Chains A and B, each alone.
Chain A
Amino acid sequence: MIIQSYMLPPKEQFHITENYIASPPALTIFDETGAVWCLGTDMQPGPHGEYAFSVLRNGAPTGAVASRIERRNGKIRVFTVNGWRQWTGRSFA
């Protein structure tokens, strides 16, 4: 998997992404810890016929494969073939 610069935490800025922002169409999502979340480049079959990709946190795979990442009520959640899964701080459940 190729790692682009946007997948890694930036040096120049720090902000927390607003609630209800989803990727795509947003490229990245920043949480309260400063972690940057995005979709990787390894295309796999996803929910509802969409493409799905590895979910990256600071450029590293989390183990989840999803077509969408969303920040809602301060939580990161992803849309997988098994439905929505929420980040617990260590993994998606």
Chain B
Amino acid sequence: MARVYSLAGANLTLANQAVTLAFINVGTTTSLEFLRMWASQSSSNNTAQQRVQISTQVSAFPTLTSQTPAKNWTLDPASQIVGGAAGAAGTSGVNASAEGAGAKSIIYPDAFSIVNGWLWVPTPPETLTLNASATSGIGLHFPAAPGSLGNWNGGISFRETA
């Protein structure tokens, strides 16, 4: 499937607070269809439950580590989304150090065992879409800090549509 990109944060050390693992703010020209999100850790063999949320956020966005989405298919053009630390329109990043004051709307709350990790793959009618110029971003968010803060992975795969 063409024009699919992945924003991935690997081996992250999270702040000891609610934290957004990955965040993408849609741009003005291309809509985004979200196909997959995931989270896992590699520092603990002991099971513990971790809450996770897929949420949208408006107005004031998280402060992130800039990260540009990678192409899933080498022949595709580069993503319209570029790395950015402020969560602005058309940018993406990982591992928020501050969540920003913008209201979050929870779309999909869930919880998982940290030894198994978490994978969200919607059936086709359930994919999420942010339309171009939605002035909104989508985040993979932990509403509470995990017990072990080190060695976290998380990411979002999405398709760019007209």
- Can you list 29 A-B pairs with a CB-CB distance of less than 8 A? A1-B72, A2-B6, A2-B72, A4-B10, A5-B8, A5-B11, A6-B38, A6-B117, A6-B153, A11-B42, A12-B42, A13-B42, A17-B116, A24-B120, A25-B110, A25-B112, A26-B112, A26-B116, A26-B117, A26-B118, A27-B38, A27-B39, A29-B116, A42-B1, A43-B1, A50-B123, A50-B124, A51-B123, A53-B121
Give Cα distance in the complex from A7 to B34, angstroms. 20
Number of contact residues on B: which range applies?
A: 35 or more
Contact (Cβ within 8 A) A51 B121: yes
The smallest C-beta distance from B34 to any residue of chain A, in angstroms, reads: 13
Proximity bits, A30-63, B CB within 8 Å = 1, else 0: 0000000011011100000111010000000000
Q: With contacts defined as CB atoms under 8 Å apart, how many contacts are there between chain A and chain B in the complex?
A: 85
A14–B1 alpha-carbon span in the complex (Å): 34
Q: Which residue numbers of A lie inside 8 Å of B, CB to CB? A: 1-2, 4-6, 10-15, 17, 21, 23-29, 38-39, 41-43, 49-51, 53
| Nearest A residue (CB) for B155 | A4
Chain B contact residues: helix, strand, loop or mixed: strand
A12 to B36, CA, bound (A): 25
Complex CA distance for A41 and B10, rounded to whole angstroms: 17
Q: Taking A6-B153, A13-B45 as contacts, is the C-beta distance between A27 and B40 under 8 angstroms?
A: yes
